[in-house]
Amino acid sequence: MASAAGSLSLYEVLGIPTSATGGEIKAAYRRLARTCHPDVVSVSRREVSADEFKRIHSAYSTLSDPDQRKNYDRDLYHRHRRDPFGSSSIHFNSSAAPSGYPAAVYGGRRNWETDQCW
């Protein structure tokens, strides 16, 4: 689930064109926060939405900082020309879990059984 979104650019995460202005980035972030923040979704979706919001926030914090955005744009240009997510790469953003990492860290659902009680 995280890997599907992993291939999106930060612009795609926020649903804005690469030419977006600072104001548009901020507005998009707010609009998405209004629907994706764990505080506004139903209880059953909170875990998923926490991950979603983290991704949105991380995209926003990179793109809203002019220097970081410049660096990112440069990377983005280069990345388009090679496989963006090399298989054993440790390098990853906070939302995309590389294969080697413990699933629970990235899927964080509560799962336990109390068969003996029933």
Partner 1 sequence: MAELQYTVASDSENTGEEKSSSAFPESAIGIDIGTSQCSIAVWNGSQIEVLKNTRNQKLMRSYVTFKDETPSAGGVTSNQLLHEREVLSGAAIFNMKRLIGRVDTDPVVSASKSLPFLVQTLGIGVRPLIAALVNNAWRSTTPEEVLAIFLVELRAMAELQLKRPIRNVVLTVPASFSRFQLTRIERACAMAGLHVLRLMPEPTAVALLYAQQQQQIVHENMGSGSEKNALIFNLGAGYCDVAVTATAGGVSQIKAITGAAIGGEDMLQNLMRYLFPDLDRLFSNHSTNDIKSMAVLRIATEDAIRKLCSQTSVQVDVDLGNENNICKVLDRKEFEEVNKQVFEKCESLITECLHDSKVNVEDLSDVILVGGCSYIPKIQNLVKAICKREELYSEMNQLEAAVSGAALEGAVASGISDPFGSLDLLTIQATPLALGIRADGNTFSPIIPKNTTMPARKEQVFTTSHDNQTEALVVVYEGGGKTVEENQLLGFFKIGGIPSAAKGVPEIIVCMDIDAGNVLRVFAWVMMPGNEHPVTPFMEVRMPTVDDGHGWCGEALLRAYGSALDLVTVQKRV
- Residues of this chain that interact with partner 1 (CB under 8 A) are 26-27, 30, 33-34, 37-40, 46-47, 49-50, 53-54, 57, 61, 88, 90-91, 94, 99-102, 104-105, 108
CB closer to partner 1 out of 18 and 61: 61
CB closer to partner 1 out of 90 and 117: 90
3: left (phi over 0), alpha (psi -120 to 50) or beta: alpha
| Spatial separation of the C-alpha atoms in residues 9 and 13, rounded to whole Å | 6
Name the minimum Å distance from CB 8 to partner 1: 18
Name the minimum Å distance from CB 1 to partner 1: 15
Name the minimum Å distance from CB 75 to partner 1: 11
CB closer to partner 1 out of 11 and 52: 52
Q: How many CB atoms lie within 10 A of CB 11?
A: 20
**40-61 burial string, b = 16+ CB within 10 Å, else e?**
ebeeeeeebbbbbbebbbebbe
Contact 47, 109 (CB under 8 A): yes
CB closer to partner 1 out of 3 and 61: 61
